[in-house]
Amino acid sequence: MIDVIEKDGSIVFTARIIPRASRSEIGGEMDGAVKVRVSSPPVDGAANTEIVKLFAKALRVPRSAVAIVAGAASRTKRIRVDGVTAEQLRNALG
């Protein structure tokens, strides 16, 4: 199960990133984190930008509502999404 913290109308969760994948997608769970595959390489923030776009689209929020709060240069990241509940995240991820 994905570990999600709800606080002040936002959620914070961990994502495990797999860069240079054949396609970009959010799916699965790995050790309490959301597994995310991105086709972009981890160069000049390209993968981070793609991660923000993927979560914004999946959760139907503006990109400005999604932020990487920890792990910008790591494969394991903490992501904050404003205006979404833990239940909405779990429903969006299937």
Residue 34: CATH number of its domain: 3.30.1200.10
The pLDDT tens digits of the residues spanning 78-92 come to 999 999 999 999 888
Q: Would you say 68 and 52 are in contact if contact means Cβ atoms under 8 Å apart?
A: yes
* Residue span of the structural domain in which 37 resides: 4-93
The pLDDT tens digits of the residues spanning 19-38 come to 999 999 998 888 889 999 99
Q: How many domains does the chain have?
A: 1
**Rounded Cα distance, 48 and 67, in Å:** 9
Give the pLDDT band (50/70/90) at residue 1. confident
Whole-angstrom CA distances from 92 to 20, 57, 70 are 23, 10, 22
The pLDDT tens digits of the residues spanning 43-83 come to 888 999 999 999 999 999 999 999 999 999 999 999 999 99
